[in-house]
Amino acid sequence: MINELKALIFDVDGTLADNEQDGHRVAFNLAFADAGLDWSWDRDTYAILLETFGGKERLLRYMEDCQPEFDPPGGRDRFIRELHQQKTNRYQELLKNGAIPLRPGVARLLKEARAAGLVLAVASTTTAVNVTTLLSKTLGEQSVSWFDVIACGDVVTKKKPAPDIFLFALEKLGLQASSCLAIEDSESGLASAMAAGLLTVVTVNESTRHQDFTGAAIVLDQLGEPDNGFRVLAGDAGGATLVDVGFLQRVHGRAR
């Protein structure tokens, strides 16, 4: 079949784990304290900063918008690079301490998809080690090898909503967009996946629930577990309550 579903390409932050406010934000604040800065991002501030994808890009935006008088020691680019590295160190500690679990249905779907012979990939804006540590810590070290491609962070210069990270993942997979599905949690992530030609299933979280998901194949509140099904926020689930391989094949099949 020409348009058979062959691969799933997962976003990470907000999709595999609900980790922005209680993970990345916390790590940024710890890094600010480590650097002797009196900066602190509360939840509302971070919700606005999340419009900017990429941790280094987010730091730059904050410095330009909120700390215009600040003169970064050692120059702006180096300062951001080092501060972001410390944020990554702090985020790694949170991951290794088990502070960041997978969202409901993620482990189940990854295992089912693998068993069904679907190819798995990641297309994320975050730093690569954050993805591999999240997978290792929650699913075991071998789970990193379940993914044919883990496309992350700075391998492309234009981050989401640009399509580049999904196009990079597709090229590495050697697959057409029409035989893949993306799973995303945010408006910018959806825009990125759609611009790469990918049909996209959206699973929202509290940070993204209010966003515009026009163009998504379907919008759900989660992937769901057998005893805790998803709620449909937009689109037609055909009575299903669980994102499993059959569900994704039907969503993919009816769109192609």
Residues recognised as catalytic = 11, 13
Q: Measured from the CB atom, is 23 or 104 closer to ligand XBP?
A: 23
The token pair that represents 78 in the structure block: 């180096």
Q: Are the beta carbons of 199 and 176 closer than 8 angstroms?
A: no
Please tell me the distance from the alpha carbon of residue 219 to that of residue 233, in angstroms, as a whole number.
5
Does residue 13 bind Mg ion (CB under 5 A)? yes
Does residue 13 bind ligand XBP (CB under 6 A)? yes
The alpha carbon torsion through 29, 34, 39, 44 (nearest 10 deg) reads 0
* Distances from the Cα of 117 to the Cα of 13, 59, 98, 120, 213, angstroms: 25, 40, 29, 9, 29
Which residue type occupies 220?
A: L
> Which does residue 187 bind out of ligand XBP, Mg ion, none, counting CB within 5 to 8 angstroms by kind?
none
Query: Which 60-119 residues touch ligand XBP, going by CB under 6 A?
Result: 87-88
Q: Measured from the CB atom, is 162 or 250 closer to ligand XBP?
A: 162
User: Looking at 5, 11, 177, 252, which residue binds Mg ion (CB under 5 A)?
Assistant: 11
Least distance between Mg ion and beta carbon 239 (Å):
28
Least distance between Mg ion and beta carbon 24 (Å):
11
Q: Measured from the CB atom, is 130 or 203 closer to ligand XBP?
A: 130
**Residue number with the shortest CB distance to ligand XBP?**
55
Least distance between ligand XBP and beta carbon 2 (Å):
29
- The distance from CA 202 to its chain's CA centroid, rounded to whole angstroms, is 11
Region near ligand XBP per CB under 6 A, out of 53-61, 110-118, 195-203, 208-216: 53-61
> Which does residue 126 bind out of Mg ion, ligand XBP, none, counting CB within 5 to 8 angstroms by kind?
ligand XBP
The alpha carbon torsion through 35, 40, 43, 44 (nearest 10 deg) reads -130
* Distances from the Cα of 136 to the Cα of 39, 121, 151, 242, angstroms: 32, 15, 16, 25
